[in-house]
Amino acid sequence: MDIPFIRETAMERSGIAYMIAKRINHLQAQKAAATTWRERRARINTISPGVIVTPLAYDEFAAAGEGYQQMIDASAAMRTGTADEIAEAGAFLLGEHAGFITGTDLLIDGGVIAAIRTGMYKLH
């Protein structure tokens, strides 16, 4: 892809390159599944969580806590999320009130991506 951000930043920083590749693959697979499974009347949705407090997150905070804290501080929620919040969103997507939702990704990140898109937080 000839996108300046990818050419100038992601190719020189493996963490950013990994994050972009993972996100693109995730969204492409989710969209393909939503149409492939339609014959079975299945609804295919995905959830993209942000910084969620889990045992693994504590390990990541220990390794790169300052960067995570800056990201959290720049987000609209100004806090980490919880596993319960992700579970509630999943329950909604699986429930009867979400019967017309399919082929979409629910971003649950407290506003981190919005902060990145508006320049309030810069990826390092």
Q: What are phi and psi of 95, to 5 degrees?
A: -85, 175
Q: Which residues 6+ apart lie within 8 Å of 57 measured at CB?
A: 51, 80
Length of the chain counted residue by residue: 124
pLDDT at 98: 97
Residue 22 known to be catalytic: yes
Catalytic residue chosen out of the listed positions 22, 68, 121, 122: 22
pLDDT at 11: 56
Catalytic residue chosen out of the listed positions 18, 58, 68, 121: 18
Is residue 47 within 8 Å of residue 89, measured between CB atoms?
yes
Q: How far apart are CA 104 and CA 112, in angstroms?
A: 19
Express each pLDDT in 6-26 by its tens digit. 556 555 666 667 677 777 777
Element (H, E) at 33: helix 14-36
Ranges in the chain, pLDDT < 70: 1-16, 18, 124
pLDDT at 57: 81
Residue 31 known to be catalytic: no
Q: How far apart are CA 117 and CA 34, in angstroms?
A: 27
pLDDT at 73: 94
CA atoms 65, 71, 75, 81: torsion sign? negative
pLDDT at 78: 96
